Structure 1
Amino acid sequence: MVGGWLVIKGWYDMGTIMLFTQLQNGVRNMFAAMGHYITDLQTSLAGGRRVLEILDAPKEPERIALPAAPAANSAAVNLDAVTFAYNGGEPALENVSLQVQPGETVALVGPSGGGKSTLFKLLLGYYLPEAGAISVLGRGLNQYTLRELREQIAYVPQISYLFSGTIAENISFGKPGASKEEIEVAAKAAYAHDFISQLPQGYETLVGERGSHLSGGQRQRIAIARAILRNAPLLLLDEATSSLDTESEEQVQLALSRLMEGRTTLVIAHRLATVQNASRILVIAEGRLAEEGSHQELLEAKGIYRHLYDMQFEEDLQSAG
């Protein structure tokens, strides 16, 4: 309206008013987009900082230095008076000794923060014990390079990491250079082949960042297929089904049963019902090995395990009611 009045008065011609209007729109759009640019810049800077943190991280040592030499034994896993603390704090594990025999399935249970996941991190060489000795498959950790050690272990965490590639690439990460046939055999053993075959691109389907295009159960079965393909003699399962719904948990449990066949397996579990058939159950509490035995033996002992079992039984009754 103002522009029309100015033209009528003869102060400006129509071309000038049109040019001004276009410039005004351009400036307004520029400021509107600036907020998006600032957000993108902040996201990029945060991502750049994370990349630099990884690049600046100290290189892992080629070999693991142990405070003490492990005694010779035939156990698949042996911890001898192991103590560990994070950054000089309270011990996460204190004077823990245990043995797992070849082919045995041993469950680790106990209150949160008791030291179960820390034990796995020590076995994988992520941290070094402050005291004691550790051996895997009859060899002290100091007799392995980190690469050799981790080649002996298949690890399935609670939330498995999938990188932004195809399903086939994610499975073959367990064995670089694996053939298409080997990948499919592993997927079938993990009960993943059926859902993969129903996808439009099959094994060439892109999983998205961290597997965002797949459900939690599908991601776990791909991780299990990866572990099957790896074919390592020692298997570590860290609450591999705790974040899944009931239907997905049943499918993943079937896949885990196939994976555990013929392997030495350590299982961290929150739901005690999933480990009742383990060869042995170890209760880790406050960084110590508090109890050990079969499901029935620990129930009869009426200690920490019995307390945890009764709590979960009550929760299940309330949920059912």
Structure 2
Amino acid sequence: MKFAVSYSTPYHGVDPDKIMAYARHAEDCGFEALYLPEHIALYPGAAVGRFELPPSLPYFDPLDCLSFVAAATRRILLGTGVLLLPYHHPVILAKRLATIDVLSKGRMRLLTVGLGALPGEARAVGVDFGTRGRRADEAIDVMRLLWAGGEEGVSFDGEFFAFDELCQFPKPYGVTHLPIHVGGSSRAAARRAGRRGDGYFPGGALAPDERALQMDLARAAAAEAGRSPETLEYTRSGSIDMTVEQVEAFAAQGVTRVVVGATATEPERQREEMSAFAQRFALLDTTEAGTRT
């Protein structure tokens, strides 16, 4: 089991010194990765399910913020949870992701993408809300094609994106493509993860039976696409105070990674929560923890 930590700017704040300290302490504690969410724009009345999002919530661009984190850390992997893929042009996004991966020496490895749930956000960037699933599928294909392509160039002719003999360098750091995980709470998201993703990160509000069904769908879709269901990673959100027994229950369900987030707002308490979790699950590297200034 791998353990990662999330940082939510609407909850934890946008102070760069606090973000840097949070990321560095997570790294010192032995967490695998730091995850950031995305919203490009909000508006009065925007809601995800029954939860209304105040329009003043501050969301950093996750990739810009992860670049900042990469420069302040040494080892921790960089993740999104989730990047709203249909609202990004995949040719530009492929370049941005490869750039971060090269500059961080191979740490942009936990990209998780989703479709977005706010129609007004889609309209604001000129995307038909009803087409965002198909756009996301094409975007994944485009990015992988560009990352793998050579000096002879690659071509693509899709519903939303098209180009001829396109070359894009630099490539990701030492790999032919970056892992792409799929997030979401629908059966369509689970099937997308199986067909195209390197992992599935389902939403946290699913009932146990639906959650199990969706993972079965993801694995079945992978097999149908000629891919190996066994290599599909399964990420779940957890709580910073979760017990060993709860993690063992996750493992029994096939979960390979748990993402938690500090609940405290004060930096000292955040560090205490992360340290306690690391000690509980033997993540803490005692030779490094607490050595940063």
Give the TM-score band, short-chain normalised. 0.3 to 0.5
Normalising by the residue count of structure 1, what TM-score does the alignment of the two structures yield? Answer: 0.32
Q: Which has the higher helix share?
A: 1
